[in-house]
Amino acid sequence: MESVFEIIAEPNRRAILSLLVSSQQSVGEIERQLRMTQPTVSKHLRVLREAGFVESTVDAQRRLYRLKPESLQEVDAWLAPFRRFWSAHVDALERHLDRMDQSTPTKRKRRRRRRGPNRERDKSE
Amino acid sequence: MESVFEIIAEPNRRAILSLLVSSQQSVGEIERQLRMTQPTVSKHLRVLREAGFVESTVDAQRRLYRLKPESLQEVDAWLAPFRRFWSAHVDALERHLDRMDQSTPTKRKRRRRRRGPNRERDKSE
DNA sequence: CCTAAATATACCTTGACACGTATATGCTCT
DNA sequence: AGAGCATATACGTGTCAAGGTATATTTAGG
């Protein structure tokens, strides 16, 4: 179980991470919200902990798990070149459409121009 | 082989994607650069193609493979909530350090203030 | 101390997938 | 049409990880 990518390949582990993004949770809470058996949760949490995705603190018999950013940032970093790739493509498309606008003027609204080079765009919101 | 995450869990597939980010390549070129056997390359390319990561065009006997952005953007989208999480953490840290600066003035250079809310930061460059 | 609750671990079984070797398909050129 | 190159597929094999059941460990409270 080497890379961070194999870790987040598992759907239940991604679900756990998504749960923890809002606030820390105990094993039992995760178990109930995600409808997984307790050993399954514990096992996934062990994997996540050893891979640096989460950390835990003790609270009586409970253990509270919370996110640690580093490992997911690794994934984010790997994506960087590809982000450059696809924003370059959007740029090319927009330039092309701009040229279309100029050569064949229609009733369409004027297409907005690019704002600044390679600004990160967040598809998810 | 359902999710995009399982696709990029495989190291050789990630290597292929990274190769294609610079320009399109034929199967043979990929094979040589990555030192993989030809059937292995073809099989991974099939997986990547069916998952929407790449597309191919025919050039005589060769097939040229190039990146398609959508699937990796899915990964990027999944990361969005976590980016918010960790930039919130950096914010908290910076605010804390700012307070430190105020209460215990030292010879250190004044710490820079935050610039704009939640600006995307790119760890990889 | 003993019990109950919360969590971790051991062991087993099963299924999936990555690889290699061999073979099939497809295209080009003569 | 036939030879040769480039790519795809079929099949058999080994490995590894996920889940379940059972059990161990830790802690609180009476």
pLDDT at B123: 38
pLDDT at B114: 53
pLDDT at A122: 43
Tell me whether residues A80 and B21 touch, CB distance under 8 A. Answer: no
Please give the residue of chain B at the shortest CA–CA distance from A84.
B21
Buried b (16+ CB within 10 A) or exposed e, A12-37: ebbbbbebbeeebbbbebbbeebebe
Q: For the whole model, what pTM was predicted?
A: 0.81
User: What residues in A contact B125, CB-CB < 8 Å?
Assistant: 80
Q: What is the mean pLDDT of chain B?
A: 86
Other C-beta atoms closer than 10 Å to the C-beta of A85 total 16
User: What residues in A contact B8, CB-CB < 8 Å?
Assistant: 5, 9
Evaluate whether B76 touches A83 at the Cβ level (below 8 Å).
yes
Quickly give B38 CA vs D7 C1' distance in Å: 8
Q: Which nucleotide is nearest to A59 (CA to C1')?
A: D27
User: pLDDT of A44-92, one tens digit each?
Assistant: 999 999 999 999 999 999 999 999 999 999 999 999 999 999 888 888 8
Quickly give A92 CA vs D6 C1' distance in Å: 32
Q: Rounded distance, CA B62 to CA A17, Å?
A: 42
Strand ordering across the sheet containing B54-59? B25-26, B62-67, B54-59
Stretch among A4-13, A73-82, A115-124, B5-14 having the lowest mean pLDDT:
A115-124
User: pLDDT of B86-109, one tens digit each?
Assistant: 888 888 888 888 888 777 665 555
